[in-house]
């Protein structure tokens, strides 16, 4: 019996209870679904496998004592197949204990489902565009980008696993003053002079200069303005390819790369650009006004701290204009939900982007989400000589490895600052979280190999034999995986998956220490051995599925 099965059984009992109260003359207006039937795992295993406070939630609308309601529901649950007992505790909690066969049946369900176990439809029908990293294509990715890459990709994975249609998007900031400074920095390097104020430095700039000269042997004979343009246009795609390569090596592949330049480019046959069209569309919604020869959007109507200029008095568009056009482009491409993962210094964008959604006629609370990530530091990480005054992503990945880095960046809430200890991440000990989880998976694989050598297979399955306390605890945790994934998707919090598989790994290690899959000595192979192999393999499958959602490998040998 799964938690969903139990929720449905409890919902049926609640529905029947409400119907009886209505038949008795009570005026009750309650509409409930499975999602309204809360189930939690008790912190103390002696209290059962599951607990619900539904009786306390129903007490006020039903005008009854919660313990009275709980007693009635518990009596009905006790008659449900697979339920060993249902008891009332405290002010009205219902503690449910499953019989061993019903609880153990989950092991076969998981093995049969394989990589699909945990997949759910809670996000079905949602079309989500998640934009993250989006670093300027003017230099290598650094440590902060590394965190956004890991977390953004993990959010996309749990959303897709929960039924959403997801597109990972990288917004290429390839228009504006920073691109000119990029070109100017390369020119300065080639001429052997100081970089411009706000320019870029590092060996990569010198290397790009060499590539520019290779592509344009006549470069030094060009005029200064033309040199900047040529250097920028030759070096920009080279640097962008390096960014792609860094992300690929980190296991992050984007579905789309959106160029900011396309927002400014004229439309077909010289028609209005996407930014021009965005202004017209916002004007049609009635939120555009003119003041001091500039064009404004009344974003204060949607919670922004001030109205925003979209076109200056000199006719130039602002960054806000590009933000608006980009948002509308996402809507035009069919994305209902737009998720932005931004850096720690971008809090001002929250109200701005929600105001754009509102001004465009969308629901700012539903159609746009802005997640602000906090900084990450790694003790002992060295600044990159090649990349300049930054801690480069490629250097960190080469130093710590993809698995250790991704897992460590994903196991904490993204809105919390993170300080990683490389010594811990490189240890093959239990205080290294990624090693702890991966070792649990490798141990399940080792058990399966040893079982095969000893003649233990899955030819029979007797879940009623899984009665040991550690088996009950392990099965209880395995039941939680689909709900953990669904919650991680709903809240955009993949760290919930990481923390869950850490708990599962701990329960597996304890089970491994107390319950043998292989028979002792010359003992014959029995149904208990075979059934425990099912449980072992089910645990390995869930750990594997959880690691896959985090983009982390599940080694079979360590």
pLDDT digits (tens, 9 = 90+) for 22-70: 777 767 677 777 777 878 888 777 788 899 999 998 888 888 899 999 9
The answer to whether the beta carbons of residues 267 and 273 sit under 8 Å apart is yes
| pLDDT at 227 exceeding the cut of 70 | yes
| Predicted pLDDT at 364 | 95
DSSP conformational letter for 175:
S
Radius of gyration (Cα) for the chain, nearest Å?
29
Q: Among 528, 239, 237, which Cα is nearest to 386's?
A: 239
| Predicted pLDDT at 58 | 87
| Predicted pLDDT at 63 | 85
| Predicted pLDDT at 26 | 67
Task: Please give the share of the chain, as a percent, with pLDDT higher than 70.
Answer: 99
pLDDT digits (tens, 9 = 90+) for 303-322: 898 999 999 999 999 999 99
Token pair in block for residue 111:
């093995």
The CA distance from 356 to 282, in Å, is 9
The answer to whether the beta carbons of residues 74 and 94 sit under 8 Å apart is yes
| Predicted pLDDT at 35 | 75
Q: How far is CA 497 from CA 228, 251, 411, 437, in A?
A: 48, 18, 8, 12
Q: What is the mean pLDDT of residues 461-468?
A: 96
| pLDDT at 389 exceeding the cut of 80 | no
Sequence-distant (6+) residues with CB within 8 A of 157 are 494, 548, 549, 550, 551
| Predicted pLDDT at 383 | 66
Reported confidence tier of residue 18, pLDDT bands at 50, 70, 90: confident
| pLDDT at 396 exceeding the cut of 90 | yes
Q: What is the mean pLDDT of residues 427-445?
A: 95
**Residues paired with 96 in a beta bridge:** 50, 86
Helices (H), 93-223: 100-113, 143-161, 177-191, 203-215
| Predicted pLDDT at 43 | 78
pLDDT digits (tens, 9 = 90+) for 480-514: 999 999 999 999 999 999 999 999 999 999 999 99
pLDDT digits (tens, 9 = 90+) for 520-552: 988 999 999 999 999 999 999 999 999 999 999
Q: Answer with the residue of higher pLDDT: 125 or 390.
A: 125
Token pair in block for residue 35:
């999602």
Q: What is the mean pLDDT of residues 270-276?
A: 95
The CA distance from 50 to 41, in Å, is 5
Tell me the three state secondary structure of residue 379. Answer: coil
∠ Cα 348 351 355 (to 5°): 135
| Predicted pLDDT at 404 | 96
Packed helices 495-514 and 402-410: angle between N→C axes, nearest 10 degrees: 110
| pLDDT at 344 exceeding the cut of 80 | yes
| pLDDT at 382 exceeding the cut of 80 | no
DSSP assignment string, 418-451: EEE-HHHHT--STTSHHHHHHHHHHHHHHHHHHH
pLDDT digits (tens, 9 = 90+) for 112-160: 999 999 999 999 999 999 999 999 999 999 999 999 999 999 999 999 9
The answer to whether the beta carbons of residues 48 and 85 sit under 8 Å apart is yes
Domains of the chain: 3-98 (3.30.1360.70), 103-122+427-549 (1.10.730.10), 127-174+252-376 (3.40.50.620), 177-245 (no CATH)
| pLDDT at 386 exceeding the cut of 70 | yes
pTM exceeds 0.85 for this model: yes
Task: Please give the share of the chain, as a percent, with pLDDT higher than 90.
Answer: 81
Q: What is the mean pLDDT of residues 404-414?
A: 96
The burial of 488, by beta-carbon neighbours within 10 Å (0-12 exposed, 13-18 middle, 19 or more buried), is given as buried
The answer to whether the beta carbons of residues 299 and 308 sit under 8 Å apart is yes
The CA distance from 550 to 495, in Å, is 9
- How many CB atoms neighbour CB 289 within 10 A? 12
């Amino acid at each position: 019996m799964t938690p969903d099965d139990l929720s449905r059984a409890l919902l049926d009992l609640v529905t029947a209870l409400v119907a009886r109260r209505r038949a008795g003359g009570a005026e009750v207006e309650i509409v409930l679904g499975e999602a309204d039937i809360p189930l939690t795992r008790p912190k103390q295993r002696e209290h059962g496998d599951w607990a619900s406070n539904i009786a306390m939630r129903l007490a006020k609308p039903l005008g009854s004592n919660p313990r009275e309601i709980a007693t009635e529901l518990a009596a009905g649950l006790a008659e449900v197949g697979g339920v060993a007992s249902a008891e009332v505790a405290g002010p009205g909690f219902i503690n449910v204990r499953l019989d061993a066969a019903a609880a153990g049946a989950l092991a076969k369900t998981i093995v049969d489902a394989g990589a699909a176990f945990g997949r759910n439809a809670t996000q079905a029908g949602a079309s989500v565009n998640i934009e993250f990293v989006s670093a300027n294509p003017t230099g290598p990715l650094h440590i902060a980008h590394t965190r956004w890459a890991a977390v953004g990709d993990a959010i996309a994975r749990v959303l897709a696993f929960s039924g959403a249609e997801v597109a990972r998007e990288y917004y290429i900031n390839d228009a504006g003053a920073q691109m000119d400074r990029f070109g100017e920095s390369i020119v300065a390097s080639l001429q052997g002079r100081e970089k411009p104020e706000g320019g870029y430095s590092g060996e990569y700039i010198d290397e790009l200069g060499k590539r520019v000269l290779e592509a344009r042997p006549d470069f030094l004979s060009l005029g200064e303005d033309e040199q900047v343009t040529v250097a920028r246009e030759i070096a920009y795609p080279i640097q962008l390819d390096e960014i792609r390569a860094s992300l690929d090596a980190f296991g992050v592949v984007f579905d789309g790369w959106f160029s900011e330049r396309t927002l400014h480019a004229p439309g077909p046959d010289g028609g209005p650009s996407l930014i021009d069209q965005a202004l017209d569309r916002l004007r049609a919604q009635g939120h555009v006004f003119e003041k001091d020869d500039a064009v404004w959007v009344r974003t204060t109507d949607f919670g922004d701290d001030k109205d925003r200029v979209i076109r200056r008095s000199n006719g130039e568009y602002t960054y806000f204009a590009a933000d608006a056009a980009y948002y509308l482009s996402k809507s035009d491409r069919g994305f209902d939900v737009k998720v932005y993962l931004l850096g720690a210094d971008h809090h001002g964008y929250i109200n701005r982007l929600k105001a754009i959604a509102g001004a465009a006629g969308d629901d700012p609370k539903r159609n746009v989400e802005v997640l602000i990530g906090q900084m990450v530091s790694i003790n002992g990480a060295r600044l990159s000589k090649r990349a300049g005054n930054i801690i480069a992503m490629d250097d960190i990945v080469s130093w710590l490895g993809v698995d250790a880095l991704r897992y460590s960046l994903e196991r904490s809430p993204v809105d919390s600052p993170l300080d990683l200890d490389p010594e811990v991440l490189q240890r093959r000990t239990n205080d290294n979280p990624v090693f702890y989880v991966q070792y649990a998976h490798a141990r399940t694989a080792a058990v399966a190999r040893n079982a095969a050598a000893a003649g233990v297979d899955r030819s029979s399955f007797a879940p009623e034999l899984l009665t040991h306390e550690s088996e009950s605890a392990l099965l209880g945790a395995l039941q939680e995986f689909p709900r953990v994934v669904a919650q991680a998707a709903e809240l955009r919090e993949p760290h919930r998956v990481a923390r869950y598989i850490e708990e599962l790994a701990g329960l597996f290690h304890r089970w491994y220490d107390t319950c043998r899959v292989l028979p002792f000595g010359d003992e014959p192979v029995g149904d208990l051995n075979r059934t425990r192999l099912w449980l072992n393999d089910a645990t390995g499958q869930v750990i594997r599925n959880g690691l896959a959602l985090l983009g982390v490998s599940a080694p079979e040998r360590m």
